Structure 1
Amino acid sequence: MTGLTETAAKRRKQLLRFISTDLLGPIAGKMPKSCIESLEKASSYSDVNSHILDIVPVTEACIVKHEVAAKLPPFIRTEAVFGKKNLYLLRNATVSPHSGMAWIGNRILEESVGSLRRIMDWGDVLHEPLLPARELRIPEPVVICHPASYYHWLFEVLPNVLFAVATFPGVKIVLPENPPRYVLEGLNTALGPEAQRDFLFSAGPIRVERLVVPQYHTQPEFTSPQVLALLRSAVQAKVVPQGPGSKEPNRSGARIYVSRQKSRRRLAGEAELEARLREMGFAVLHCEALSFAEQVRAFHQAEVVVGCHGAGLSNLAWCEPPCRVVEIFPRNYILDCFAWLSFSHGFDYRHVICDTGHKIDERAMEAVIAAAG
């Protein structure tokens, strides 16, 4: 099979540009003009305002600065600004259960996923407004619980669903067909098994009379204190009961290593590191093999957590101080979201960068062992 001719390739490029323009509107600097950046800002326009039934603030804007004794490099940040978070109740809107992307008419709501850049980075969701939408004729409001990756689902999607449930009693939760295990288990943990009667499943976009659109922010790598507190009260407290009458055993002081050997982004040389840590009394956890509740309990018991940067470290949300965290970074991928999570809970945070990319070199291994001890 031969490749496309130059003429055919040019025609295909022109067709894709035409479809993108028809879908997203005129392009300026590769950014569609017809997307709605902020529903609050656009609410003065009659064609937008006619879709807005209510705008409900659920968290306040705040500035958070963590005082950390250790001297940190500039890429480990200790200060962040969080804008207020809204819930929008919209009339006659369409939404995808796979991405949470919502649109009114042919205008995509950036806040439904965080930003236009996130939509364009995902790539495979740009076509969703072109798909046929099924009419969902129910009187109750609807909120989408889309299956983002574990980190983004835990710190963005789940809290937004919890805010919607608390604000709009009777809201129906729409999921795609066959969502990941952690999505259903997390919802059942937070809302109780009886909440399943409010679950609806859809294979594609749906058009609803009343849609709750949570506001997602542009830069989701940091989590606000209000969201962390919500996860503690709505999730952790139901898995690890607190108080005098609790039957849950006290923290065991466990030392755990969060393995990525079963991940597609595994760390070369990890088996040797695991063997060294086992000799020091560490248990090796494969989070993908654990239920949602098992992950909550395991991290709640931990006093030392070591792991390569990855979704498993999202479970630091369930740890209690005092706790030491040692995060291993490949040289070509450093993101401080778990450092921020550690600072938010008052943990002793340390990090090690591998000199050899995605391989645990000897220097890095010794640094991890020293930090973990």
Structure 2
Amino acid sequence: MTGLSETAAKRRKQLLRFISRDLLGPIAGKMPKSCVESLEKASFHADINRHILDIVPMTQARIVRHEVAAKLPPFIRTEAVFGKRNLYLLRNATVSPHSGMAWIGNRVLEESVGSLRRIMDWGDVQHEPLLPASELRIPEPVVVCHPASYYHWLLEVLPNVLFAVAAFPGVKIVLPENCPRYVLEGLATALGPGAKRDFVFCSNPIRVERLVVPQYHAQPEFTDPQVLELLRSAVKTRVAPLQGTDGAPGSATRIYVSRGKSRRRLRGEAELEERLREVGFSILHCEELSFADQVRAFHTAEIVVGSHGAGLSNLVWCEPPCRVVEIFPKNYILDCFAWLGFSLGFDYRHVICDTGHEIDERAMDAVLDAVR
């Protein structure tokens, strides 16, 4: 007779079910038992409190309302609530250089990624606490700068690293091996070329004696104005002055942020680019520019046109008065760049394509009308 007995098979099945529920939560949709929603709220637990060395406020809670003269549809929002966010200095914690996910023991810290719901959209992601971790034996505190997509890296990860550097001088910055160019260039721009001596490259999760964990938003659709102020004062001024000597930005430019080299390019974009060239626009492929060159290009822009995409994250470097014209495919509208425009005092306008992922003749005319 081969294989397990019926009793042993039942016990194995029960054990696997228990492990699955404990790690991933029951089918009903509860969060895993091994998850800590808020370190601040859970700090009264002795087994959690012993890991907390310090809690440093990063941004304050606030309600932000923008007064916009134009009549906007309801899906373009002008009001948001931002909760207080902290930096946590933890003892004996483990962190992934790829996602920034941190855990103590086997308990995942939701705030290190915003929420478990966010990472459910990341695709084929391994359950990182099950991966082997190595010891990183250094006396300095450590913060992870993980390579999120450009929008989330620029408006979430980079500001959190800057907050950590300001709060904990000498902090080491952990990066994954084979880091995207924009991450390395962005850090060098923000912190200076000498920052490279504080970089630590890792391929697997690491256990550290002191870990700085920035608290991420559960729903990062909108950027806190406090974060925008930090990026403009701490990063932009290293590349381009906020104002020229005459009190205004340098020679104004008109730029179209092209998605011509993206697989999600809208059909008809090449024709729109040609028509915009005729009225004085330069066509910008952000993926071909260095981080600093992107800052400079958007700093002098008087009009920015582009379809919804990561390139418009660089609106953070523009100066008012600036007009923004965003093009949406018919079935995908997200107002994160509208919020950026309102926060920075820009003249924001949008055009929605009538035919799915194609810039048709009506949409082209609407774009040209908006820039004239």
Smaller-chain TM-score bracket: over 0.9
Per the TM alignment, residue 332 of structure 1 is displaced from its structure 2 partner at its CA by 1.3
Which range moves more in the overlay, 256-265 or 25-34? Answer: 25-34
Counterpart in the other structure of 2:105: 105
Counterpart in the other structure of 2:271: 272
Q: Tell me how far apart the structure 2 counterparts of residues 164 and 104 of structure 1 sit (CA, whole Å).
A: 19
Give CA-to-partner distance per residue, 1:245-267, whole Å, 9 cap, x none.
Answer: 79x99421100000001012111
Per the TM alignment, residue 23 of structure 1 is displaced from its structure 2 partner at its CA by 3.2
Secondary structure, aligned partner of 2:170: coil
8 A contact 1:99–1:125 mirrored in 2: no
Give CA-to-partner distance per residue, 1:202-253, whole Å, 9 cap, x none.
Answer: 001001010000000111111111100000011100000357779x994211
8 A contact 1:97–1:175 mirrored in 2: yes
Counterpart in the other structure of 1:46: 46
Counterpart in the other structure of 2:36: 36
Q: Sort the Cα spacing of 1:311 and 1:244 in 2 relative to 1 into closer, same or farther, 3 A.
A: closer
Give CA-to-partner distance per residue, 1:93-144, whole Å, 9 cap, x none.
Answer: 1100000001111111110000110122224334211110010011110000
Q: Tell me how far apart the structure 1 counterparts of residues 196 and 354 of structure 2 sit (CA, whole Å).
A: 48
Give CA-to-partner distance per residue, 1:130-167, whole Å, 9 cap, x none.
Answer: 11001001111000000000000001000000000000
8 A contact 1:89–1:211 mirrored in 2: yes
Q: Sort the Cα spacing of 1:17 and 1:295 in 2 relative to 1 into closer, same or farther, 3 A.
A: farther
Counterpart in the other structure of 2:65: 65
Per the TM alignment, residue 33 of structure 1 is displaced from its structure 2 partner at its CA by 2.9
The one-letter code of the counterpart of 1:79 is: E
Q: Tell me how far apart the structure 2 counterparts of residues 64 and 17 of structure 1 sit (CA, whole Å).
A: 46
Counterpart in the other structure of 2:118: 118
Q: Tell me how far apart the structure 2 counterparts of residues 38 and 287 of structure 1 sit (CA, whole Å).
A: 37
Q: Sort the Cα spacing of 1:255 and 1:141 in 2 relative to 1 into closer, same or farther, 3 A.
A: same
Q: How many equivalent pairs are there?
A: 360
Q: Sort the Cα spacing of 1:30 and 1:316 in 2 relative to 1 into closer, same or farther, 3 A.
A: same
Q: Sort the Cα spacing of 1:211 and 1:223 in 2 relative to 1 into closer, same or farther, 3 A.
A: same
Counterpart in the other structure of 2:199: 199
Q: Tell me how far apart the structure 1 counterparts of residues 87 and 350 of structure 2 sit (CA, whole Å).
A: 36
Counterpart in the other structure of 1:145: 145
Counterpart in the other structure of 1:263: 262
8 A contact 2:254–2:280 mirrored in 1: yes
Q: Is 1:74–2:74 an aligned residue pair?
A: yes
Calculate the TM-score normalised by the size of structure 1. Answer: 0.92
Q: Tell me how far apart the structure 2 counterparts of residues 59 and 278 of structure 1 sit (CA, whole Å).
A: 42
Q: Sort the Cα spacing of 1:308 and 1:45 in 2 relative to 1 into closer, same or farther, 3 A.
A: same
Q: Tell me how far apart the structure 2 counterparts of residues 99 and 122 of structure 1 sit (CA, whole Å).
A: 10
Per the TM alignment, residue 34 of structure 1 is displaced from its structure 2 partner at its CA by 2.5
8 A contact 2:259–2:307 mirrored in 1: yes
Counterpart in the other structure of 1:128: 128
CA-atom RMSD, angstroms?
2.0
Counterpart in the other structure of 1:8: none
The one-letter code of the counterpart of 1:116 is: L
The one-letter code of the counterpart of 1:127 is: H
Counterpart in the other structure of 1:313: 312
Q: Tell me how far apart the structure 1 counterparts of residues 76 and 248 of structure 2 sit (CA, whole Å).
A: 35
What does 1:1-373 align with in structure 2 at a 5 Å threshold? 20-24=20-24, 28-242=28-242, 250-373=249-372
The one-letter code of the counterpart of 2:353 is: C
Give CA-to-partner distance per residue, 1:42-96, whole Å, 9 cap, x none.
Answer: 1111111111111110211111000000000000000001111100001111100
Q: Tell me how far apart the structure 2 counterparts of residues 243 and 368 of structure 1 sit (CA, whole Å).
A: 28
Alignment gaps of 5+ in structure 2:
1-12
Calculate the TM-score normalised by the size of structure 2. Answer: 0.93
Q: Sort the Cα spacing of 1:367 and 1:42 in 2 relative to 1 into closer, same or farther, 3 A.
A: same
Alignment gaps of 5+ in structure 1:
1-12
8 A contact 1:141–1:172 mirrored in 2: yes
The one-letter code of the counterpart of 1:354 is: C
Secondary structure, aligned partner of 1:251: coil
Q: Sort the Cα spacing of 1:19 and 1:370 in 2 relative to 1 into closer, same or farther, 3 A.
A: farther
Q: Tell me how far apart the structure 2 counterparts of residues 134 and 27 of structure 1 sit (CA, whole Å).
A: 32
Q: Tell me how far apart the structure 2 counterparts of residues 291 and 303 of structure 1 sit (CA, whole Å).
A: 21
Which range moves more in the overlay, 227-236 or 22-31? Answer: 22-31
The one-letter code of the counterpart of 2:368 is: I
